[in-house]
Amino acid sequence: MSLLDLYLEKSGEINPQNASFAAKDMYLFDFTTNFRTLHSVEEGFRTFKKIGEMTEEERQAYMEESPEKAKSFVNNMIRTKLFVPRGGKPVLTVKGEVFEKFLGERLSPDDRWFIDFLFVADSYFSLKTNYIFSRTREVFDAWEKAGYTVGQIYNALIYLFNVHDVSMEEFLRTEYIIMITFRDFPEFLRAYRDSNEFEKNALHEYIVDNYSKGRYNCIVTSKFAPGALIDCETVLDDAKILFFAHYIDGSNPISLEDMLDTFEEAYTRFYRINAKRVMNFIMMYEDVFRMTYLNLFSDTREFKLDDKIIAAAKEKFEEDDLEKALIEPLDYTTTETLELLGKINSMFSVAAKEATGYKCELDGVNRCRYFTDKDTGMPYLEVHQIIPRDYAGEFDVSIERASNYAALCPHCHRLIHEATDSERFRALSELYRLRKDRLDADGIVPTNELLFAVYGIEQQKLQPGENDFAKPLLEAAQPKLAAGKGTGKQTASKTKKAATVKKAKKR
Ligand SMILES: [Zn+2]
Ligand SMILES: [Zn+2]
């Protein structure tokens, strides 16, 4: 079968009437409705700033007038860490203040694009941590599964950077258009990759001809039909994001300086960016970019206790500041917060361990394993944040509360991060139920959907009935956590704990 015939066969499976539906999966990066391209970050920022400056009544009226639009701006801007919710109102973070200064800079569109990219690089759109990077990995994985090498993918992406003012016809003739459309169909991609130039040309000619005659009745053209809500710019934007995210991610920078060197190399080699101007801007606001770097490349969620940080924090922050920080949502984009977090961390780590008498929080429902910490002579425990800091923006209150810190043995801690979805759900829902009342009292009330998103658990991979973090699993259907069988003693204390939870819920 020729490549074109194979393509037409695939096209027969879609309904050309439903073009906008077909176009949906053309967006690689799901920034939600009003945030389709990277450039629109700036527009979103301006709109959201206006919302922040409105009076309570004005804000209510605006939200009622266009709730969808308002909501998507609010969610996106908080997820970019440019705003932090405070007293039900969006307030600029330090990063947001720098972004505002950036809007006044005279930079070329390419330079602007790149800085926009840096500002949103550590965002958690679609409730995925470091969304741009994790999404990029998914897309590259799909292409590599179809037999493409990273070099081949780079060539297809870089080719697009240098096509000035690309026409639709030109665009429809690129290899990228096939790669992006068929990324979830490795068999077709493989057939395309293995075809000769003659066959590839025949396919691209057909697509261009079909488009220029306004027929839109094959897979690619249907995505660009009038009303399909997609254009070249969006797709090219995605290609640029893919390239830079993968390039930076793959260079594994060990310091901010390393990351900046990588940027400079990427601009000069592949893209029309004025590296000097962009570097100057970054260096002027180094602290903000250092935080972005930390969010991207180091595990800030599990701080080690550092006496120096604690000492510095003690000097800098009065007890009052600390108290306030625990109630008000924190601005996680400042280096000062980093120091404060050192203090908060040490405080709650000790508190969490002492509250359980140096036992794992899941002791009794799981098979915990301990060893002695060489520094303290106590059982070694790790501290886990039930709501991680990336999701702090989802709450109008601070998540830096004792209720959000749980002491776990290394076995349980690894389990809830690394095990299969089903095993993780069982452990995490046990943990969440043990903590729910205390979290609720502190105003940290995540929805079930948020918890599934936070822990990256796909519900369809779970057993029927495993659909609610707050609901105890049916006793009969409740399998033992982790591998192996629990002892009779463990089962007894598990039943006791379940009863306690039930009682607590009734109150
Ligand atoms: Zn444990
Ligand atoms: Zn953890």
Among 255-259, 306-310, 418-422, the range scoring the smallest mean pLDDT is 306-310
At residue 483, does pLDDT exceed 50? no
- The token pair at 408 is 């776990």
pLDDT at 349: 83
Among 161-175, 448-462, 480-494, the range scoring the smallest mean pLDDT is 480-494
The residues spanned by each domain of the chain are 3-223, 356-506
Ligand 1 centroid to Cα of residue 271, in Å, is 50
Do 294 and 338 form a contact (C-beta atoms < 8 A)? yes
Closest ligand to the CA of 408: 1
pLDDT at 477: 47
CB atoms within 10 A of CB 178: 24
Looking at the DSSP bridge assignments, the partners of residue 200 are: none
pLDDT, tens digit, 9 for 90 and up, residues 89-98: 788 999 999 9
Integer Cα distance of 206 and 139 in angstroms = 26
Percent of the chain surpassing pLDDT 70: 83
Q: For 126, left (φ over 0), alpha (ψ -120 to 50), or beta?
A: left
Q: What are phi and psi of 121, to 5 degrees?
A: -55, -40
What lies within 8 Å, CB to CB, of 246 at 6+ separation is 136, 137, 140, 150, 153
User: What is the three-class DSSP state of 84?
Assistant: strand
At residue 32 the predicted structure's pLDDT band, cuts being 50, 70 and 90, is: low
3-state secondary structure 198-229: HHHHHHHHHHHHHHHCCCCCCHHHHHCCCCCC
pLDDT at 318: 63
DSSP state of 394: G
Ligand 2 centroid to Cα of residue 416, in Å, is 7
* Longest Cα separation, the chain: 77
pLDDT, tens digit, 9 for 90 and up, residues 36-52: 677 778 888 888 888 88
Q: Which helix (H) or strand (E) holds 110?
A: helix 109-120
Closest ligand to the CA of 404: 2
Closest ligand to the CA of 381: 1
Ligand 1 centroid to Cα of residue 345, in Å, is 20
Closest ligand to the CA of 384: 2
At residue 223, does pLDDT exceed 90? no
What lies within 8 Å, CB to CB, of 122 at 6+ separation is 81, 130, 292, 295, 296
pLDDT, tens digit, 9 for 90 and up, residues 413-436: 999 999 999 999 999 999 999 999
CB atoms within 10 A of CB 108: 13
Ligand 2 centroid to Cα of residue 413, in Å, is 6
CB atoms within 10 A of CB 269: 9
Ligand 2 centroid to Cα of residue 385, in Å, is 6
Ligand 2 centroid to Cα of residue 345, in Å, is 13
Q: What are phi and psi of 384, to 5 degrees?
A: -115, 135
pLDDT at 376: 81
Ligand 2 centroid to Cα of residue 387, in Å, is 9
Instruction: Write down the pTM of the prediction.
Output: 0.81
pLDDT, tens digit, 9 for 90 and up, residues 157-207: 988 887 666 788 888 999 999 999 898 889 999 999 999 999 999 999 999
pLDDT at 55: 86
Integer Cα distance of 1 and 53 in angstroms = 62
Closest ligand to the CA of 410: 1
- The token pair at 468 is 């609610």
Amino acid, single-letter form, for residue 247: Y
CA distance to 176, 177, 205, 220, per residue, from 170 (Å): 11, 10, 11, 14
Do 348 and 402 form a contact (C-beta atoms < 8 A)? yes
Residues in the chain, total? 507
Q: Give the residue-averaged pLDDT of 378-385.
A: 92
Ligand 2 centroid to Cα of residue 386, in Å, is 8
At residue 87, does pLDDT exceed 80? no
Q: Which helix (H) or strand (E) holds 91?
A: strand 89-92
pLDDT at 491: 40
Ligand 1 centroid to Cα of residue 467, in Å, is 23
Ligand 2 centroid to Cα of residue 74, in Å, is 28
